[in-house]
Structure 1
Amino acid sequence: MADTILTSACQCGQVRCQAIGRPILSGVCYCDDCQAGAELLEALDGAAPVGEKDGGTHYLTYRDDRFSCVAGADLLRPYENSPDAPTRRMVASCCNTALFLKFSKGHWTSAYARRFKGDVPPVEMRTQTQFRNSSLPLPEDAPSYRTFGPKLFWRLITSRIAMIFG
């Protein structure tokens, strides 16, 4: 999957993004911030779903140098859960489609897996399950962690090193 290019788009197609290569991680997050963010974005007029049925949010996380907006960047609008939030959720203002999340202190972008076309990598882990509020059974398709889990941090560290050294 090293040379694979996945594309994502808003509902009306005016905003398009692309991701190159394998993601750092394909994961579902259940943290309070992601759940609140999904609720905020899904309440926008005509918005497409962001969260999964069990309250998690499936992201494909890419290094910043491997993810870009290739059309309609001027239509992107940031949404924050609070003024001091470390994350900005980017939404296509043309049709209120949430496309990705940017963590201000990180070297990665977490894109909403629902927006991608093609062969989307399967879920590799579920994180922050301590905040999960669903009565649905927790899917057993991947390891689940009450917090973020060491595997996630390892992947973020190694991706940063790879980014530094090209």
Structure 2
Amino acid sequence: MGEVTHLRCRCRAVEMEAEGAPIMSTECLCNSCRTAADVLERLPGAPALREKTSGTRMQMYRKNRVRCIRGSANLREFRLNGKTRTRRVVATCCNTPIFLEFTNGHWIDLYGALWPENTLPPLEMRTMTGDLDDPSVLPDDVPNLSSHSAGFFIRLLWGWAAMGFRQPKIDYVEGVLDVPS
């Protein structure tokens, strides 16, 4: 077993553990992530999700390397609409967003806001910058990809191969987040 990172919601009622290093450390600037951040940041007591760039920091992990070890009864899903396979999972005890899951995928994106200060792995790339009105305003400290690169998909494929091409289900999230209008 590799190094284990313990991550907690703001009130510490929910605890997750992530084994090993992430597949990659990204900042997503897609319209969906920015819209969801607008909604989730308005929840009472919710932490900020967006960076100065308006992107959302994510640590991408194989699903088989992430577990909820305490507080799963507090986890609820939020979807932008009834048709999307993307769900964002929030700890309702303190409205801390925990992760984003592509339900048919083999990975989840743990929100960067979960990491204690100065422990978040270094940013490797920004993705979906083509959704911005003016991506030229972004800093050039990491690659700013207009969509997803071949390298991005290769890293995901490599992680999937390491799992034997399985797609584990996350079955410890029950219920839907009640989002005020």
**Residues 54, 134 of structure 1: 8 Å contact kept:** no
Match for residue 161 of structure 1?
A: 161
More displaced 10-residue stretch of structure 1: 119-128 or 23-32: 119-128
How far off its partner does 1:137 sit?
A: 3.3
The aligned amino acid for 1:131 is: D
Superimposed CA distance per residue, residues 107-166 of structure 1 (whole angstroms, 9 cap, x where no aligned partner): 001000121136321011110001125789312221111001111100110100011189
1:125 aligns with 2:129: no
Match for residue 111 of structure 1?
A: 110
Match for residue 95 of structure 1?
A: 94
In the alignment, the residues of structure 2 paired with residue 135 and residue 149 of structure 1 have an alpha-carbon distance, to the nearest angstrom, of 16
The runs of at least 4 consecutive aligned structure 1 residues that moved more than 4 Å come to 133-136
% identical equivalent positions: 37
In the alignment, the residues of structure 2 paired with residue 116 and residue 43 of structure 1 have an alpha-carbon distance, to the nearest angstrom, of 20
In the alignment, the residues of structure 2 paired with residue 154 and residue 43 of structure 1 have an alpha-carbon distance, to the nearest angstrom, of 35
In the alignment, the residues of structure 1 paired with residue 19 and residue 83 of structure 2 have an alpha-carbon distance, to the nearest angstrom, of 31
The aligned amino acid for 2:37 is: A
Which consecutive residues of structure 2, in runs of 5 or more, have no partner in the other structure? 167-181
Distance 1:14 1:152, change over 3 A: same
Match for residue 47 of structure 2?
A: 48
3-state SS in 2 of match to 1:98: strand
**Residues 47, 113 of structure 2: 8 Å contact kept:** no
Superimposed CA distance per residue, residues 43-63 of structure 1 (whole angstroms, 9 cap, x where no aligned partner): 111111111121101100000
How far off its partner does 1:33 sit?
A: 0.9
TM-score, structure 2 as length reference: 0.85
Match for residue 23 of structure 2?
A: 24
Match for residue 148 of structure 2?
A: 148
The aligned amino acid for 2:122 is: P
Which consecutive residues of structure 1, in runs of 5 or more, have no partner in the other structure? none
The number of residues matched between the two structures is: 165
The aligned amino acid for 2:82 is: P
Q: What's the RMSD between the two structures over aligned residues?
A: 1.9
In the alignment, the residues of structure 2 paired with residue 97 and residue 88 of structure 1 have an alpha-carbon distance, to the nearest angstrom, of 14
In the alignment, the residues of structure 1 paired with residue 38 and residue 85 of structure 2 have an alpha-carbon distance, to the nearest angstrom, of 17
Superimposed CA distance per residue, residues 57-95 of structure 1 (whole angstroms, 9 cap, x where no aligned partner): 110000000011111011001011111112111100101
**Residues 87, 101 of structure 1: 8 Å contact kept:** yes
